[in-house]
Amino acid sequence: MTIEAFLSRTIDAAIQAGKAVLDVYATDFAVDHKADDSPLTLADRKSHRILVEALAPTQLPVLSEEGRHLTYAERRDWQRFWLLDPLDGTKEFVKRNGEFTINIALIDQQAPVLGVIYVPVHDVLYFGTITGGAFKLASADKAWAQITAKETDSDTIRQTLIRVSDPLPSPSSIPEVFTIVGSRSHSTPEVDQIKQEMAQIHGDVALISAGSSLKLCMVAEGRAHLYPRTGPTMEWDTAAGQAIAEAAGARVLEFESGRPLLYNKENLLNPWFVVKRKQPFKAESGCLRQS
């Protein structure tokens, strides 16, 4: 089955999960905590169930932040599988700032080849495949409902979806000032150091903050030139965003080695990484050298 053939199912799943998340968001929801003290809500659980049920007909295995964490022995031979973050940015969800997303990625041979990210509060959809490019769709729920009400063939739905979406990167979004996007909840001294290094090269440098996988989307869209992550993330935090960013022509690399970020490792913790647009700029670190 081609990568693009999965797109309609994953987009529908993300939008339906987003609706369920918004239902919880509108209530006085309770907040539990996992063993690592990270927050967990009913929205995380509802989204997980919807996504897993929607993807079950593909008969591909699923690895989800909110699912049972399989041992490496159970998943080491997976060649193709779904990697989900049912509610990326639960801290932002709890803060009620709207910067949380539904993330779905298809992993093939340790690389993310399809990504869907839905932003429920703003009803914005980002999607991309490594073979078909990356796109952004505003008013996604309404647009998707209109498309699927008229069409039933998945290829026709996909073609119509692409026709009404904006390709990424968007030239009108690219700022004149070199822009770095950082985490709203996890700022580090290393990011400040990178800003200083980039300022020596580019002059004025802007530093903006965002939550969840929106940071990868901002690089894909062209609104930021660079996203360095010098703090802990898990594979499900980055997979969908990496697929979209790379489909939009950006690169996602390990911070120290400059090698591509890989998935389904024995340890699901990501190394430090950087997301950058393909444009020339110089720096000492391997991941920040000219593309």
Residue 282 in this model has a pLDDT that exceeds 50: no
pLDDT at 186: 60
Q: Provide the CB-side half-sphere exposure for 11 (13 A, CA).
A: 28
pLDDT at 185: 61
Do 139 and 249 lie in one domain? The reply is no
**Which range of residues forms the domain containing residue 82?**
4-168
C-beta neighbour count of 262 within 10 angstroms? 15
- The DSSP call for residue 261 is P
Name the percent of the chain lying above pLDDT 70: 94
Contact 290, 281 (CB under 8 A): yes
Residue 75 CA: distances (Å) to CA of 79, 107, 252, 268 = 9, 12, 24, 12
Reply yes or no on whether the pLDDT at 284 is more than 60. no
38 with 150, same domain: the answer is yes
pLDDT digit string, tens, across residues 56-95? 999 999 999 998 778 999 999 999 999 999 999 988 999 9
Report the pLDDT value the prediction gives residue 184, as an integer from 0 to 100.
67
Average pLDDT estimate for 278-290: 50
Query: CA 99, CA 6: separation in Å to the nearest integer?
Result: 26
- Going by C-alpha positions, the residue among 282, 281, 264, 263 that lies closest to residue 273 is 263
Q: Same domain, yes or no, for 152 and 177?
A: no
CATH number for position 247: 3.40.190.80
39 and 183 both lie in a single domain = no
Are 33 and 136 part of one and the same domain?
A: yes
Instruction: List, edge to edge, every strand of the sheet that includes 124-129.
Output: 62-64, 80-88, 101-108, 111-119, 124-129, 133-137, 166-168
Asked if residue 188 has pLDDT above 90, the reply is no
| pTM listed for this prediction | 0.93
Residue ending a domain, among 139, 168, 197, is 168
Question: At residue 170, what is the residue type?
Answer: S
Note the pLDDT of residue 272: 95
Q: How many CA atoms lie within 13 A of 143 on its CB side?
A: 18
Shared domain for 104 and 241, answered yes or no, is no
CATH number, residue 105: 3.30.540.10
Residue 56 in tokens:
């079950």
Q: How sure is the predictor about 117, in pLDDT bands with cuts at 50, 70 and 90?
A: very high
Q: pLDDT class for 281, splitting at 50, 70, 90? A: very low
Q: How far apart are CA 214 and CA 224, in angstroms?
A: 11
Closest by CA to 99, choosing from 217, 229, 272, is: 217
Confidence check: pLDDT of 241 > 50:
yes
Going by pLDDT thresholds of 50, 70 and 90, the confidence category of residue 264 is very high
Claim to verify: residue 176 and residue 269 sit in the same structural domain = yes
Q: Per mean pLDDT, which range of 104-108, 141-145, 172-176, 220-224 is the poorest?
A: 172-176
Confidence at 287, pLDDT banded by 50, 70, 90 = low
Longest dimension (CA), the chain: 54
Residue 291 has pLDDT above 60, yes or no: no
* Class of residue 163 by CB neighbours under 10 A (exposed 0-12, middle 13-18, buried 19+): exposed
Q: 163 and 98 share a domain?
A: yes
Residue 171, Ramachandran bin (φ over 0: left; ψ between -120 and 50: alpha; else beta) = alpha
What's the average model confidence in pLDDT over 128-137?
97
Average pLDDT over residues 163-169: 97
pLDDT at 193: 87
Considering its fold, how many domains does the chain have in total? 2
Summarised one tens digit per residue, pLDDT across range 135-158 is: 999 999 999 999 999 988 989 999
DSSP state, 234?
A: B
Looking at residue 40, its pLDDT comes to 83
Q: For the chain, give the mean pLDDT.
A: 91
Alpha carbons 241 and 270: distance in angstroms, whole number: 14
Whether residue 156 sits in one domain with residue 205: no
Q: In angstroms, rounded to a whole number, what is the distance separating the alpha carbons of residues 244 and 136?
A: 10
Percent of the chain whose predicted confidence (pLDDT) is above 90: 72
Q: State yes or no: pLDDT of 37 exceeds 80.
A: no
In a shared domain, residues 137 and 202? no
